[in-house]
Structure formats: structure tokens, C-alpha cells
């Protein structure tokens, strides 16, 4: 099997939930990012309903298959009572391995751990989600390599 690239699958949870009183809101969006751009992952026939972070809303476990050259970005964001948004971006490569973790706090995206070579995937996801005006800067030099 020399020269054949393995196509991996990743199971992610996509959710849009809020607390009973509506003070906290959780949103998890998965995007497949590649040379052709970013496309969102939507729950379909193969997905199953799971329990979300908060009681109101819906959450689904979706299995995503990736082609070589593509990456899956899972953006998990939570808005608290003061309106402050924080969260994380998880990047999976085409083999299904977690290769980069980044945190979003105070209008900044910072690397927590992983390969900064996949920073392009997070930046593309931020553009595709339309939240680039809420990100002042990216910091890919911090964090641990593994």
C-alpha cells in the first residue's frame, strides 16, 4: 500500500444548546476545511442524538470522513451571563488524529498544544464562521508541541 493515503473518520458532537434561563449558550460547529474552502458539517441520516451541554436545544453525534489534504475543525464556543464568549478550536487531520488545540478568550486565539502547521485550518474556520471581526489576533507560538 505504498503511496496510498488513508482516509480517516472522526465522530464529533455538533450542538446548539442553552441553559434553562438562557444565561449560558453553547454552540459547537464542525467544518471540513480543504483546498476547496470550508464546508459545514450538518447532522444527517447517519447522526444520532446525544445529550448537549445545556438542557434546551439539540446535540448530535456526527461521523465525518476526511479526504487527504482536508482537516476537520471543531469550534466549541460558550457565551456566559456577562456576554463573554470563550471556547476552543480542535483540528483533526485527514487520518482522524487530533493535531492542534487552540483556545479562544478575550478576542484572541492562542495555541494550547499541537502542530502550528495546522493554523491555516483554524484561520479558515474563523473566516467561514464569520467571526473574524471578533478575533483581534492569533498567537501560534505559545503552547506545547505535543
> Per-residue pLDDT tens for 56-87?
999 999 999 898 999 999 999 999 988 999 99
Task: Name the percent of the chain lying above pLDDT 90.
Answer: 78
Cell digits for 2? 505504498
C-alpha 123/C-alpha 105 separation (Å) is: 15
**Average pLDDT, integer, range 97-108:** 95
Among 12, 131, 118, residue whose Cα is nearest residue 64: 12
Q: Which residues pair with 37 in a beta bridge?
A: 34
pTM for this entry? 0.90
**pLDDT at site 4:** 53
Amino acid at each position: 500500500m505504498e503511496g496510498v493515503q488513508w482516509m480517516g473518520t472522526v465522530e464529533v458532537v455538533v450542538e446548539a444548546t442553552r441553559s434553562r434561563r438562557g444565561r449560558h449558550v453553547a454552540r459547537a460547529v464542525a467544518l471540513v476545511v480543504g483546498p476547496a474552502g470550508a464546508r459545514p458539517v450538518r447532522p444527517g441520516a447517519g447522526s444520532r442524538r446525544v445529550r448537549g451541554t445545556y438542557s434546551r436545544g439539540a446535540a448530535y453525534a456526527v461521523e465525518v470522513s476526511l479526504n487527504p489534504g482536508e482537516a476537520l475543525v471543531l469550534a466549541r464556543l460558550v457565551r456566559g451571563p456577562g456576554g463573554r464568549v470563550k471556547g476552543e478550536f480542535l483540528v483533526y487531520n485527514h487520518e482522524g488524529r487530533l493535531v492542534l488545540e487552540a483556545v479562544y478568550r478575550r478576542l484572541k486565539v492562542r495555541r494550547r498544544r499541537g502542530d502550528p502547521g495546522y493554523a491555516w485550518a483554524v484561520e479558515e474556520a474563523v473566516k467561514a464562521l464569520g467571526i473574524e471581526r471578533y478575533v483581534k489576533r492569533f498567537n501560534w507560538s505559545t503552547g506545547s508541541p505535543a
